[in-house]
Structure 1
Amino acid sequence: MNAKITVPAEVAEALGLYVGATKSKTEAFMSIRNDGDIYKQSSVIRSYFKSNIDGILEALVNGYTVEQTPEEKVREYWSKLMSDRYNVNDEHHLDKLSAEIHGIIKTLNLLGIKIEGVND
């Protein structure tokens, strides 16, 4: 069995629109291939996969997962740090985790980025 590939949310949405608008994944593939850059959705898909037409077929046949946004990655890492912080018994490790948490907040604030659940 082949593994699912990971694609950005915009590509996943475009693939989903094609699959939903056609009768089969084969028909969706043919439409994407034949539409070229006429439609925004086909343009998004073709731009992401570039000349790797097999990648489009692989995504349609094997499925795909949606790539996390940078904010989601930070939020997930933040949650892990917070969980580790409350479960650690070693003072040195606790200091390291606290410094890392402070560094994340400081960096996001310096960049003017607000992430819900992290520094909002």
Structure 2
Amino acid sequence: MKPTVTKEQAEAIEELRLRLSDEGILLSYTNDSLTVGDNKSGCLYNLDLLTLAAALINGYESEPTPEEKLRDYYEHIKRSRDERYVAGDIEDKRHNVGVLTGIRNTLDILGIKIEGVNA
């Protein structure tokens, strides 16, 4: 079974694999030496040893970032808006337009740009 790791953890694993074997990564983890030097591997300590070992042996799924989750939600609402328009359901279409506008306005207020949403 492939465990799910964060994007940051996936990047840390790939960075470590450039210079260590999987066994070396596990040894560094158990010796508390993953963060020696200039790397960002400390996030792997948020995984327990068995989960890290499973990720190294079986591969892993990368958890979508909050930005990716929002982009997927935004695309879902856009599809729903279009379906409601084709179906002649103007009220639901207006609702979905309001949701899309709210998402874009919130991101603009926060100064966040997400490709495919407001960038």
TM-score clears 0.5: yes
Q: Secondary structure at the match of 1:105?
A: helix
- Partners of 2:93 and 2:64 in 1: CA distance: 28
Q: Using structure 1 for the length normalisation, give the TM-score.
A: 0.77
Gaps of 5+ in 2: none
Q: Using structure 2 for the length normalisation, give the TM-score.
A: 0.78
Provide the aligned C-alpha RMSD in A. Answer: 2.1
Instruction: Note the alpha carbon deviations across 1:45-68, whole angstroms, 9 max, x for none.
Output: 12x22xx22221122123212222
- Picking from 6, 9, 22, the partner of 1:8 is 6
List aligned pairs for 1:66-85, cutoff 5 A.
66-85=62-81
CA distance 1:111–1:19, shift in 2 (3 Å) = same
> 1:112 aligned to 2:108?
no
Gaps of 5+ in 1: none
Shift of 1:30: 2.2
- Partners of 2:72 and 2:16 in 1: CA distance: 31
Shift of 1:42: 4.0
